[in-house]
Chains A and B, each alone.
Chain A
Amino acid sequence: GAGVSQSPRYKVAKRGQDVALRCDPISGHVSLFWYQQALGQGPEFLTYFQNEAQLDKSGLPSDRFFAERPEGSVSTLKIQRTQQEDSAVYLCASSLAGDGYEQYFGPGTRLTVT
Chain B
Amino acid sequence: GIQVEQSPPDLILQEGANSTLRCNFSDSVNNLQWFHQNPWGQLINLFYIPSGTKQNGRLSATTVATERYSLLYISSSQTTDSGVYFCAVTNAGGTSYGKLTFGQGTILTVHP
Chains A and B come from one and the same complex: no
